[in-house]
Each structure stands twice: as structure tokens, then as C-alpha cells.
Amino acid sequence: MKNLMLLALGTVALASCAPMMAPAYTLTPQSGAPAGITPVGTVSASKDATTTTTTAKVSGLAANTYYVAHYHKMGMANTDPCRSAGPLIMSSMIVGQTDAGGTLTLTGSVATADIASATYFNIHTSKDSMGTPGDGGVTCTSVTP
């Protein structure tokens, strides 16, 4: 029992001593998601003074389909960032395609200064491989830059 307690304390100490620990966010489905998909996933972001690298892993999407993600600034439509319909930050765009099982992994880098006022990160169905959004977003998380 004593050893277990020490182990637990050691884990907490390690976690609090890691300054570059990437924040992790849980994605929540958005109302713009087409019927028949149930996106589940997480977003992690690791940043230094100049660059933020963001990775999103999502399952439950449509198979073999392009998706596009961005950071967004706060909009006026709602006080919930994910419902605020805020302007996207184009330089943060990441485009990717799901596999046959509807799983998507996106990784992209953006200047940290570009997303300094971001309040949410979301993923839209993309009309094409260029990242033209096809809807208002299928899954989203608020973020703290």
C-alpha cells in the first residue's frame, strides 16, 4: 500500500514538472454533422514560442472522405465557442482523409502568434482535397491558446 502511494505521488510530480506537456482536448459533435456519423476523438497541441503543432485523432466519421480542421476566433452567435460561428484562422488549416473505417488523423503546424486569440478548433467535412469546408463543422472543442 505504501509503495502504491509513493508511485501515485511520483506520477503527479512528474506531470507537474513537464512544462511542454501538450494540452489534450475532447471533441464534441457539432450540429452541422451529417446524419449517420458519430465523431469521437481528441485534439492535442504542443507549442513553443513560435510554433504550435496540433494533432487530432477522430473515429466515427464517414469512410474515405476529406475533412478540414481549423482554429477559429470567437464569434457572436453564442457564448459557447463551438457554437459561436467565429471566423476561421486560415493559416491553421489541416486537411486529411479518413480511412475505410472512418478514422482520421490530422497533424499540422501553425505560427503560435496566429492562433493567440483562437477559442475553438473544429473539423468540417471537406468538399475536396484543398480543404473547402462543406458544412459548419462536425466536431469541435474549445481551446485555451
The footprint of Cu ion (CB under 5 A) covers 70, 88, 122
102 or 136: CB nearest Cu ion: 136
- Tell me how far, at minimum, the Cβ of 78 lies from Cu ion, in Å: 15
The CB-of-144 to Cu ion minimum distance in angstroms stands at 17
- Report which residue's Cβ sits closest to Cu ion: 70
Q: Measured from the CB atom, is 58 or 88 closer to Cu ion? A: 88
Least distance (Å) between residue 10 CB and Cu ion: 40
Q: Which is nearer to Cu ion, 17 or 82 (CB)?
A: 82
Please measure the distance between the N-terminal and C-terminal CA atoms of the chain and give it in whole angstroms: 40
Residue whose entry in the numeric block shows the C-alpha cell 459557447: 80
Least distance to Cu ion, CB of residue 24, Å: 19
Which of 113, 117, 140, 145 shows the shortest CA–CA distance to 56?
140
Q: Which is nearer to Cu ion, 60 or 106 (CB)?
A: 106
Residue at grid coordinates 492535442: 44
Between 10 and 87, whose beta carbon lies closer to Cu ion? Answer: 87
Q: Which three-class secondary structure state does DSSP give residue 140? A: strand
Residue 10's identity, in one-letter code, is: G
CB of 21 to Cu ion, least distance (A): 25
Rg (CA), the chain: 17
CB 108 within 8 A of CB 89: no
Angle at the Cα of 90 from the Cα atoms of 86 and 96, rounded to 5 degrees: 105
